[in-house]
Structure 1
Amino acid sequence: MADAVTALVVDDEEMTRAIVAGYLARIGYRTLEAATTAQAWEILSANGAAIHVVLLDRRLSDGDGLELYERMKGVPELADIPVIVQTISDSSAEIAAAIRAGVFYYLIKPYDGALLRSVVRAAEETTGRLKSLQGDLRSRSDAIALLRDARFRFRTPQEAQNLAIALSSVASTGHSLTFGLSEILVNAVEHGNLGIGFEAKGRLKASGMLAREIEARLASSEHRDKYATLHVERSDSRVIFTVTDMGPGFDFNRYLSVDASQSHATHGRGIALARMVGFDQLTFVGTGNRVVGIVNLDRV
């Protein structure tokens, strides 16, 4: 790669920092190291724009790693850097606390290099998509805010993304709605209509074949006539997004929150993330092939 991706490793054990740096060097990352939250903050303050991901130990000699994460969220230049929390504790309470704080990547030591690399890539990919959506949203016209009632039909992930970008400006909640809406629209295509389940998506992502599989299924006789719909209703107080796909539904309760068993997976957090940051309410109807997301305008 032309410019090396930079990771900040914050851990009070020198050996751990060296091991993590070695793991990441295999995929072309360079690392900066800090032993304390104070050192980490100095590095972030001076080099924040150049840091792509932070691996943060939960327990440090000078405090809780989550306190550093909360501090980062208060600085616009640092708020979008993906953070992966690592710890020796598998306490469900600690994991829940990290998830409530907004950390969707949580590694329990010891872990192997392959798992670390896959989680780092997944975190960076998610954040990169969010930044891309943000930039596209800013380029759209404010005219969409005039919308009161509209229906859309879409069948590809790109069409889903385009809809999310265009329609998020119906409420001035910024990039969080863009991301949340794109998650439920893309989910309707990939999981609903095309039937790409959680385990299959994991295998396809690991092999780099996900995009090719999506194209193949879209062109197949089984799926080529399927589409999903989006109904948008806007009042003075709220916007209601209703997404319906042609799939059989799924066990949506499994994905409404992120628990310890999912904390190190490279996907599967989209619904929980959309529920946390994209909408005031997110409800699945029936078997799960219809989802209703509500944004309250009076909170903005």
Structure 2
Amino acid sequence: MAEPVTALVVDDEEMTRAIVAGYLARIGYRTLEAATIAEAWAILSDPTITIHVVLLDRRLDDGDGLEVFERMKAVPGLAEIPVIVQTVSDSSAEIAAAIRAGVFYYLFKPYDGALLRSVVRAAEERSGRLKTLQGDLRSRADAISLLRDARFRFRTPQEAQNLAITLSTIADTAHSLTFGLSEILMNAVEHGNLGIGFEAKSVLKATGALTQEVENRLASPEHRDKYATLHVERSDNRVVFTVTDMGRGFDSSRYLTVDAFQSTATHGRGIALARMVGFDQLTYVGAGNRVVGVVNLNRPAVPPAD
């Protein structure tokens, strides 16, 4: 019999822990609970317990929840566990700090069960893809270091993610660049080529139907021949990523500033975050179906925001 998926829920509110456990029980997850950093670390350090995903509150009674994540990154057996940060704060600085630290998933309280389950599954799926790629990532990095000018064509979310993970090794800021590239490549697929707008994506995410809708549109006569392109140009000092899709474009100004963080929607912050932590410059060209991201290879490391 397969081992059940076990989630560690770290939150100082007992009611929140119980609600999250109930949400995850509906998809067959087992949950363990911790109210403090110390309790969470005791569970994570127990060799008899296998944790598959961690839901981590930022503000705990004994400190910042990100401390747990930082400790996990230093332990080989824990570093690969996907972490979802949850908080009542909608601060762009806090989100940027979490992403720089290596967190890809951020939930704002309150959220419903469908959204939580969707994010947990996405985190697990992404973690699985990362593990698959890690075996040959070093050889990829050595090859990517030779890149000077390359063009790629992609059409599916998985192809977009694989490109983002592989090409991010071109810079020392690989983790932040992975996030930034992933955002603009996924936008080219979902929003650009497949025409899934902001409001439609909100509904699809809330109902857990986004993945199926993407697959349906990729197979449809209207969209099955569409593709996006990525052009990578590298010099001694910088890398320029140009992504072009076959969509009609959009008003990018709405999503490039910190105003995006003030929305109560469950998405729409990705472009602003990509601009903040993934690239030194991010510019949408023309109608919005082409975006140019620039990474300076000689920039100093940016410390996490307080």
TM-score after normalising by structure 2: 0.76
1:60 maps to 2:82? no
Instruction: Tell me: CA distance 1:4–1:251, structure 2 relative to 1, closer, same or farther (3 Å).
Output: farther
Compute the displacement of 1:41 (Å): 1.9
Distance in 1 (CA, whole Å) between partners of 2:23 and 2:154 is 41
User: What are the within-5 Å matches in structure 2 for residues 65-214 of structure 1?
Assistant: 65-72=65-72, 77-78=78-79, 81-87=82-88, 92=90, 95-102=91-98, 104-109=105-110, 111-135=111-135, 137-140=137-140, 142-204=142-204, 206-207=208-209, 208-214=211-217
Compute the displacement of 1:144 (Å): 3.5
Aligned position for 1:6 = 6
Give the share of equivalent positions with the same residue, in percent: 73
Instruction: Tell me: CA distance 1:274–1:49, structure 2 relative to 1, closer, same or farther (3 Å).
Output: farther
- The answer on whether the counterparts of 1:148 and 1:233 sit within 8 Å (CA) in structure 2 is yes
Aligned position for 2:233 = 233
Instruction: Tell me: CA distance 1:64–1:184, structure 2 relative to 1, closer, same or farther (3 Å).
Output: closer
Describe the SS at the equivalent of 1:32: strand
- The alignment of Structure 1 onto Structure 2 pairs a total of residues equal to 289
Describe the SS at the equivalent of 1:229: strand
Deviates more, 1:277-286 or 1:75-84: 75-84
Distance in 2 (CA, whole Å) between partners of 1:160 and 1:119 is 18
- The answer on whether the counterparts of 2:280 and 2:293 sit within 8 Å (CA) in structure 1 is yes
Instruction: Tell me: CA distance 1:277–1:24, structure 2 relative to 1, closer, same or farther (3 Å).
Output: same
Instruction: Tell me: CA distance 1:199–1:51, structure 2 relative to 1, closer, same or farther (3 Å).
Output: farther
Aligned position for 2:41 = 41
Aligned position for 1:216 = 219
Instruction: Tell me: CA distance 1:121–1:152, structure 2 relative to 1, closer, same or farther (3 Å).
Output: closer
Describe the SS at the equivalent of 1:21: helix
- The answer on whether the counterparts of 2:96 and 2:277 sit within 8 Å (CA) in structure 1 is no
Distance in 2 (CA, whole Å) between partners of 1:276 and 1:45 is 34
Deviates more, 1:37-46 or 1:206-215: 206-215
Aligned position for 2:304 = none
Distance in 1 (CA, whole Å) between partners of 2:254 and 2:81 is 26
Which residue identity is paired with 2:84?
V
Q: Per-residue displacement from partner, 1:202-228 (whole Å, max 9, x unpaired)? A: 4445235234323224xx2x4455433
Describe the SS at the equivalent of 1:140: helix
The runs of 5 or more residues in structure 2 that have no matched partner are 302-306
Compute the displacement of 1:105 (Å): 1.8
Computed over aligned residues only, the root mean square deviation of the Cα atoms, in angstroms, reads: 3.4
Instruction: Tell me: CA distance 1:294–1:178, structure 2 relative to 1, closer, same or farther (3 Å).
Output: same
Q: Per-residue displacement from partner, 1:77-102 (whole Å, max 9, x unpaired)? A: 34753123244xxx55xx44531322
Compute the displacement of 1:72 (Å): 4.3
Instruction: Tell me: CA distance 1:169–1:122, structure 2 relative to 1, closer, same or farther (3 Å).
Output: closer
The runs of 5 or more residues in structure 1 that have no matched partner are none
Q: Per-residue displacement from partner, 1:26-55 (whole Å, max 9, x unpaired)? A: 111111111222111222233698323323
Distance in 2 (CA, whole Å) between partners of 1:285 and 1:66 is 36
Distance in 2 (CA, whole Å) between partners of 1:150 and 1:190 is 23
Describe the SS at the equivalent of 2:190: helix
